[in-house]
Amino acid sequence: MPDFADIWYVLFLRDYNTRLVVICTILLGCACGLMGGFLLLRKRSLMGDMLSHATLPGVGLAFMLAVSLGGNGKSLPILLMGAAFSGVLGCWAVLCIRNHTRIKDDAAMGIVLSVFFGAGVAVLGLIQTMPEGSAAGLESFIYGKTASMVASDFQILVIVTISVLICSLLLFKEFRLLCFDEAFAAALGWPVKFLDVLLLALVTAVTVAGLQAVGLILIIAFLITPAAAARFWTNQLDRMLLLSALIGGASGWLGASLSAFFPRLPAGALIVLVAAVCFVISMLIGTERGVLVRYLHQVQLKGRIGRQHLLRALYEILEGGRSQGELALRPVPFRQIRGRRTWSDAHLRDYIRRAYHEGLVEAPTKDDSIQLTVAGLAEAAHLTRNHRLWELYLIEYADVATSRVDRDADMVEHVLGEKMVAQLESKLQTYRSAGSLVPESPHPIIPGD
Amino acid sequence: MQNEQTVISPKSLPLTIRDLTVAYHRKPVIWDIDLTIPEGKLVSIVGPNGAGKTTLIKACLDLIPRSSGEVSIYGQPYKQARQRVGYVPQRESVDWDFPVSALDVVAMGTYGQLGWFRRVSKRSKALSMQALERVGLADYAHRQISQLSGGQQQRTFLARALVQDADIYFMDEPFAAVDAATERAIVEMLKEIQERGKTVLVVHHDLATVPQYFDWTVLLNMRVVAAGPTDEVFNQQNLRRTYGGKLTLLTQAANEVERSR
Amino acid sequence: MTWYAIDTWIVVVGALAATASALLGNFLVLRKMSMMGDAISHAVLPGLAIAFLVTEARASLTMFIGAAIVGVLTAVFTQWISRFGKVDEGASMGIVFTSLFALGLLLIVQAADHVDLDPGCVLYGAIELTPLDVVWRPKLFGFDLEVPRAALVLGGVTLLNLTFIIGFFKELRITSFDAELATTMGIHSNWMHYLLMTLVAVTSVAAFEAVGSIIVIAMLIVPAATAHLLTDRLWVMLLLSAVFAVASALLGHLSALVVPSWFGFADTSTSGMMAVAAGLLFLLTMLGAPRYGVLAKYFRKAESVGV
């Protein structure tokens, strides 16, 4: 087991052997994370899947071509050019199938993926029979062999990723617009088609660059996982993209460092698993859309609805149809409340118990009656007022209301603004002095049993 | 919970909704819905965009979870009353490139009664054909569904509902994007269904035709504004409470009401 | 080119694998889940590796079970992530299968100490070697047949898939076409989804050893999509997809033997060429299909402009 000093040594790039690898994977992670963010928002995550599979025949053919022309088949620039070429061809084929036939997006990607990959396998099969074949080492493109890379390979990788990063930062505003609202972007006069192709070209570039570092299958993870993880933490596009690039970079850094300690384990797999762990953690505890947060919201919402219903029911019973005057506190029979709602006894008692702990109702009496406390009455009046204001708002501004109504907002004023609420209040008053509760309760008042 | 049910939901009532609230994320979409629909009515559900009309239907059919409240169909929860319910989803909800003919789509209406493994019998095929004849599409029975026009697709869906042979139907915008002739044909069919004592709930958009087509109306805008016989509830005041006061179409609708009386 | 009995068996094994996949593929394509085949066939790797680690041998049955379980888990995890995490279905699929594949690679490195296992064989398979593993020598019509094990296994899987599709034809049809209506009728589309995914997993595991997963990935999608361009009847589509699957197997093996010789090579991977052959058939259909083909559409447009 490596000791702490060793870990420190590697993590902070003091170790010459791993420094290059780690820097490269960090850069690659950032670039993939950023591009993946755009892909995710355009619901095109599996485009990366298709792209990376589609590069295989290009790699093989480039190798064969180079060898038959007497060159060095293993020269990385040549192989990458071949990969990029067949990747672009694959993208074009997908768009062709999708636009000209009734075949849907997913099937179009699947067709191109499998046929191109099959062609790649066939080409590799040919290379196996070549005398130079054994030396090809093209397998590393499928599984990724960071260790087999040489210094010049790293230079290419660094150049590609950095230029992709710069490009996407320069075009950040345009890409953001494209992801957010394509039609709007087109209406503003942006060359949407061109931007789309440019985005795919940049994705192709990072995919191809990452092929040898993490392998054909695992580069897919680099394009999808960090972006999906970032989505759980924020609803803002800029932050999400930044976070996605950070998670990608961090996964690259940790994964590559880990592989320095376990040289037998493939670096690509470690990187992907680190990213997967990031994803799982984000999915569970992400502050904006995480599972836990949403579950808590759900439970809270149910509790809040129950509490509101209870207090409002109590208030309306006390009010008893009168619209004027102060309300007197008096005990309300349990059964009368139950008659107003579809609660089971257990649910109602649960809501009452919670209201009791909040100090909103007195302890239930022996004959099963519930009485609001003074604080409870104030809260119930507040809730009922909010509720009526919302209903009034729905009536007065029905055409615009539905998207703005937030009945659970603590204060109506926070959503609608002071002025609007004052206006609604005065309307409520006029209705009240006219002797009717506004709005008329849509529930027929069922007088208990 | 069942045994404690105090709500009276008689077996003769096709649909009783009590205290229904549905919330997405953190906002309630529809709230405090209390609704009783008597038997044999042709019911329109109208309201502005985003008023929760589709949500209401889907909550009745157990397609989305409810935050509170209960729905009973002929006095039973949906699971037990399933055989008595027919559903016509929005037309855009399916892939019309799917390799099925109009007859196949209609025959799907019988699947619910068939049960697992059983194949579609000659008899149900004949029933499906009859249904297609009734909506006037007998000649198109073997056409692939993407080759039908929008109105014909809608009528195929209606034929499928007919084959379901339900007692209460939920239809989500059957009049969306159909031409005037189709609309009349559909209305004829709905009236025919009604005459056989069935109940039909229709999400509807065109206020002008409400009094003409429907004898019962539910005005919905996140909560039920009014529900009852159309000539009682479909008035200027209730419409303003549902749609707000600024729509010119309201006056048109009101005129229509006047004329129909 | 010379054709031996072995070549016949290669084509038979390939055709069985292709047919088994293509039958299920129709429903994947219609449910817009074509990429699920790709995902599952990559994701079974850790299942295989764990089976190796546990039994320390290439015992077929444990491998089969291990991989099938992981295959189903892929479908389950994908659905969980997209439902509970509200992640786009494609993205959640990508996350699940790449993570499982990475896990599988790590496990295989561990297992490599004990057994000889090459991830490459999962992808390409060794269809050329399958006829050598003969398990049954029946005498039929005066011929001495040497039935390889792969043919028996894949024949069994093909039958299983066929039974499934015939037995659940109407459930598969309605849940694929209108899942919501199916649910209101009490036919749960989730159940059908998991059943379908289980069979996809079983098929890809059965096929991987003999013919490599590339055939499964290709045959799950390409023949079904090709058939979809030619017909508007579901059962015709199923039938046509099977025909295309068999044709791709035959053409694939033929071209694996013949095409390389044009360029002065000996021969190449049959699995790869079967996928390419399926792709060529798709291309031809895409161009020439009578109603939905590109050319037909082009001429119809030209005609309507001319009139």
The pLDDT tens digits of the residues spanning C4-43 come to 778 888 888 889 999 999 999 999 999 888 888 888 888 8
Task: CATH number of the domain at A322, please.
Answer: 1.10.10.10
What SS3 class is residue C269? Answer: coil
Which of A371-385, A408-422, B236-250, C165-179 shows the highest mean pLDDT? Answer: C165-179
Residue in chain A closest to C263 (alpha carbons) equals A126
Instruction: Give the residue from A113, A102, A64 showing the smallest Cα distance to C276.
Output: A113
Residues in chain C with CB shorter than 8 Å from the CB of B87 are 180-181, 184
C30 with B108: Cβ contact below 8 A: no
Residues in chain B with CB shorter than 8 Å from the CB of C289 are none
* Partner-chain residue, chosen from B63, B94, B117, that has the shortest CB–CB distance to C167: B117
Residues in chain A with CB shorter than 8 Å from the CB of C119 are 143
* Residue A141 sits in the same domain as residue A276: yes
Q: For residue C161, what pLDDT band results from cuts at 50, 70 and 90?
A: very high
A297 with B31: Cβ contact below 8 A: no
Which candidate in C163, C169, C175, C178 is best for mutational testing of the B interface (most B CBs within 10 A)? C178
A448 domain-assigned? no
pLDDT in tens, B46-58: 888 778 888 999 9
Q: How far, in Å, are A241, A289, C73, C83, C95 from residue A282 at the CA level? A: 15, 9, 21, 15, 13
Contacts of A3 (CB under 8 A, 6+ apart): none
* Residue A265 sits in the same domain as residue A330: no
Residue in chain B closest to A443 (alpha carbons) equals B34
Beta bridge partners of B226: B219
- β-strand pairing of B85-88 with B216-221: unpaired
Q: What are the b/e assignments for A334-368, b being 16+ CB within 10 Å?
A: bebbbbbbbbbeebbeebbeebbeeebbbebeeee
Q: Residues A332-335: contacts with CB within 8 Å, 24+ apart? A: A332/A369, A332/A370, A332/A371, A333/A367, A333/A368, A333/A369, A333/A448, A334/A364, A334/A368, A334/A369, A334/A370, A335/A368, A335/A448, A335/A449
* Residue A194 sits in the same domain as residue A224: yes
What SS3 class is residue A402? Answer: coil
Whether pLDDT at C114 is above 70? no
A416 domain-assigned? yes
The confidence score (pLDDT) of residue A287 equals 87
Contacts of C29 (CB under 8 A, 6+ apart): A104, A107, C221, C224, C225, C228
* Residue A192 sits in the same domain as residue A250: yes
Residues 61..80 of B with a Cβ closer than 8 Å to A: which? 67-70
- The number of distinct structural domains making up chain C is 1
A338 with B18: Cβ contact below 8 A: no
> What one-letter code names the amino acid at B31?
W
Task: CATH number of the domain at C172, please.
Answer: 1.10.3470.10
pLDDT mean over C97-113: 82
Domain end, chosen from A271, A289, A307, is at: A289
- β-strand pairing of C134-136 with C147-148: antiparallel
* Residue A257 sits in the same domain as residue A324: no
Beta bridge partners of B76: B73
What SS3 class is residue B44? Answer: strand
CB A213 within 8 A of CB A25: yes
Instruction: Name subunits touching A (3+ CB pairs < 8 A).
Output: B, C
Ranges A232-236, B104-108, C149-153, C301-305: which has the least confidence: C301-305
Q: Which two tokens stand for residue C242?
A: 């099977």
- β-strand pairing of B15-24 with B27-37: antiparallel
Q: Is B248 an 8 Å CB contact of chain A?
A: no
Whether pLDDT at C159 is above 50? yes
* Partner-chain residue, chosen from C38, C87, C268, that has the shortest CB–CB distance to A49: C38
| DSSP for B66-113, written as a single string | -SEEEEEETTB-HHHHGGGEEEE--GGGS-TTSS-BHHHHHHGGGHHH
Whether pLDDT at C185 is above 80? yes
Domain end, chosen from A242, A262, A289, is at: A289
Q: Determine the Cα–Cα distance for residues A428 and C123; give it in Å rounded to an integer.
A: 72
Query: Omega before A439 cis (within 30°)?
Result: yes
Whether pLDDT at B87 is above 50? yes
- The number of distinct structural domains making up chain A is 2
* Partner-chain residue, chosen from B31, B225, B247, that has the shortest CB–CB distance to A399: B247
Q: Which two tokens stand for residue B26?
A: 């953190």
Q: For residue C81, what pLDDT band results from cuts at 50, 70 and 90?
A: very high
Q: How far, in Å, are A155, A304, A406, B19 from residue A311 at the CA level? A: 69, 11, 18, 15
How many beta-carbon pairs under 8 angstroms link B with C?
A: 69
Q: Determine the Cα–Cα distance for residues C271 and C219; give it in Å rounded to an integer.
A: 11
Task: Output the tens digit of pLDDT for each of chain A's 449 residues.
Answer: 556 666 666 666 666 667 777 888 888 899 999 999 998 888 888 888 899 889 989 988 988 888 888 777 677 788 888 988 999 999 999 988 988 888 888 899 999 999 999 999 888 888 877 776 554 566 666 666 666 666 777 788 888 888 888 888 888 888 888 887 777 888 888 888 888 888 888 888 888 888 877 777 778 898 999 999 999 998 888 889 899 999 999 998 898 888 877 777 778 888 899 999 999 999 999 888 888 988 888 888 778 878 888 888 888 888 775 555 567 777 887 777 777 777 777 778 888 888 888 888 887 777 778 888 888 888 888 888 777 777 777 777 665 555 556 655 555 666 666 777 777 777 777 766 655 544 444 444 343 33
What sections of C168-293 are H helices per DSSP?
169-177, 179-184, 189-211, 213-228, 234-262, 270-288
Whether pLDDT at B34 is above 50? yes
The confidence score (pLDDT) of residue B169 equals 92
Residues in chain A with CB shorter than 8 Å from the CB of C123 are 121, 142
Which candidate in A92, A106, A114 is best for mutational testing of the C interface (most C CBs within 10 A)? A114
Residues in chain C with CB shorter than 8 Å from the CB of A259 are none
Average pLDDT, chain B: 82
Give the rounded distance of the alpha carbon of C115 from its chain centre.
27
Give the rounded distance of the alpha carbon of C76 from its chain centre.
19
Residue in chain A closest to B67 (alpha carbons) equals A302
Q: Which two tokens stand for residue A288?
A: 């904006």
CA distance to partner chain B, nearest, from residue A403 (Å): 7
Q: Name the burial class of residue A54, with classes exposed (0-12), middle (13-18) and buried (19+) by CB atoms within 10 angstroms of its CB.
A: buried
Q: How many helices (H) and strands (E) does chain C have?
A: 14, 4
* Residue A166 sits in the same domain as residue A43: yes
- Based on its alpha-carbon atoms, the radius of gyration of chain B, rounded to whole angstroms, reads 19
CB B46 within 8 A of CB B173: no
CA distance to partner chain A, nearest, from residue B237 (Å): 10
What SS3 class is residue B144? Answer: strand
Task: CATH number of the domain at A206, please.
Answer: 1.10.3470.10
pLDDT in tens, B167-186: 999 999 888 878 888 888 88
CA distance to partner chain C, nearest, from residue A375 (Å): 39
The confidence score (pLDDT) of residue A300 equals 82
Q: Determine the Cα–Cα distance for residues A172 and A165; give it in Å rounded to an integer.
A: 10
What sections of A69-103 are H helices per DSSP?
76-100
* Residue A71 sits in the same domain as residue A219: yes
Q: Determine the Cα–Cα distance for residues A258 and C1; give it in Å rounded to an integer.
A: 51
A273 domain-assigned? yes
CB B35 within 8 A of CB B219: no
B85 with C184: Cβ contact below 8 A: yes
CA atoms in the 13 A half-sphere facing the CB of B158: 31
The confidence score (pLDDT) of residue C119 equals 55
The confidence score (pLDDT) of residue C122 equals 56
Q: Determine the Cα–Cα distance for residues B209 and B205; give it in Å rounded to an integer.
A: 9
* Residue A236 sits in the same domain as residue A282: yes
* Residue A191 sits in the same domain as residue A165: yes
Between helix A237-261 and helix A267-285 the angle, nearest 10°, is 140
Q: Determine the Cα–Cα distance for residues C161 and C19; give it in Å rounded to an integer.
A: 9
* Residue A283 sits in the same domain as residue A299: no
The confidence score (pLDDT) of residue A90 equals 92
C268 with A107: Cβ contact below 8 A: no
Q: Which two tokens stand for residue C192?
A: 């059908």
* Residue A370 sits in the same domain as residue A253: no
Q: Is B10 an 8 Å CB contact of chain A?
A: no
Between helix C5-30 and helix C234-262 the angle, nearest 10°, is 140
A220 with C94: Cβ contact below 8 A: yes
C178 with B101: Cβ contact below 8 A: no
Give the residue, C167 or A298, on which the prediction is more confident: C167
A81 domain-assigned? yes
* Residue A276 sits in the same domain as residue A309: no
A310 domain-assigned? yes
DSSP state of B169: E
DSSP state of A410: S
Q: For residue C57, what pLDDT band results from cuts at 50, 70 and 90?
A: low
Q: Determine the Cα–Cα distance for residues B108 and B110; give it in Å rounded to an integer.
A: 5
pLDDT mean over C171-182: 88
The confidence score (pLDDT) of residue B5 equals 43
Q: Is B223 an 8 Å CB contact of chain A?
A: yes
DSSP state of A361: B
Longest Cα–Cα distance in chain C? 74
Q: For residue C294, what pLDDT band results from cuts at 50, 70 and 90?
A: confident
Give the rounded distance of the alpha carbon of A10 from its chain centre.
32
Residue pointed to by tokens 């293993």: A74
* Partner-chain residue, chosen from A102, A297, A396, that has the shortest CB–CB distance to B244: A396
Instruction: Name subunits touching C (3+ CB pairs < 8 A).
Output: A, B
Q: Which two tokens stand for residue A55?
A: 């590069």
Residue in chain C closest to B161 (alpha carbons) equals C181
The confidence score (pLDDT) of residue A438 equals 43
Q: What are the b/e assignments for B184-208, b being 16+ CB within 10 Å?
A: ebbbebbeebbeeebbbbbbbeebe
Residue in chain A closest to C81 (alpha carbons) equals A283
Provide the domain limits for residue A360: 294-435
Domain end, chosen from A289, A319, A342, is at: A289
Secondary structure of chain B: what % helix, strand, coil (to 5)? Answer: 45, 25, 30
Residue pointed to by tokens 């699920």: C36
Provide the domain limits for residue C100: 5-135+144-306
Q: Is A440 an 8 Å CB contact of chain B?
A: no
Instruction: Give the residue from B225, B210, B201, B198 showing the smallest Cα distance to B257.
Output: B210
At residue B225, φ and ψ (nearest 5 deg) are -80, -45
Residue in chain A closest to B29 (alpha carbons) equals A402
Which candidate in B18, B24, B68 is best for mutational testing of the A interface (most A CBs within 10 A)? B68
CA distance to partner chain C, nearest, from residue A269 (Å): 4
Give the residue, C269 or B116, on which the prediction is more confident: C269
Element (H, E) at B54: helix B53-60
Residue in chain C closest to B114 (alpha carbons) equals C170
Whether pLDDT at C120 is above 70? no
DSSP state of A133: G
Beta bridge partners of A361: A372
* Partner-chain residue, chosen from A40, A48, A115, that has the shortest CB–CB distance to C218: A115
DSSP state of C196: H
A140 domain-assigned? yes
> What one-letter code names the amino acid at B82?
R
Element (H, E) at B228: strand B223-229
What SS3 class is residue C247? Answer: helix
Q: Determine the Cα–Cα distance for residues B38 and B16; give it in Å rounded to an integer.
A: 9
pLDDT mean over B235-241: 80
Q: Determine the Cα–Cα distance for residues A385 and A389; give it in Å rounded to an integer.
A: 6
pLDDT mean over C64-69: 84
CA distance to partner chain C, nearest, from residue A304 (Å): 22
pLDDT mean over C161-165: 93
* Partner-chain residue, chosen from A104, A305, A401, that has the shortest CB–CB distance to B68: A305
A273 with C102: Cβ contact below 8 A: yes
What SS3 class is residue C42? Answer: helix
Q: Determine the Cα–Cα distance for residues A46 and A36; give it in Å rounded to an integer.
A: 10
A446 domain-assigned? no
What SS3 class is residue A23? Answer: helix
Q: Determine the Cα–Cα distance for residues A330 and C108; give it in Å rounded to an integer.
A: 74
Complex-level ipTM: 0.89
The confidence score (pLDDT) of residue C121 equals 55
A444 domain-assigned? no
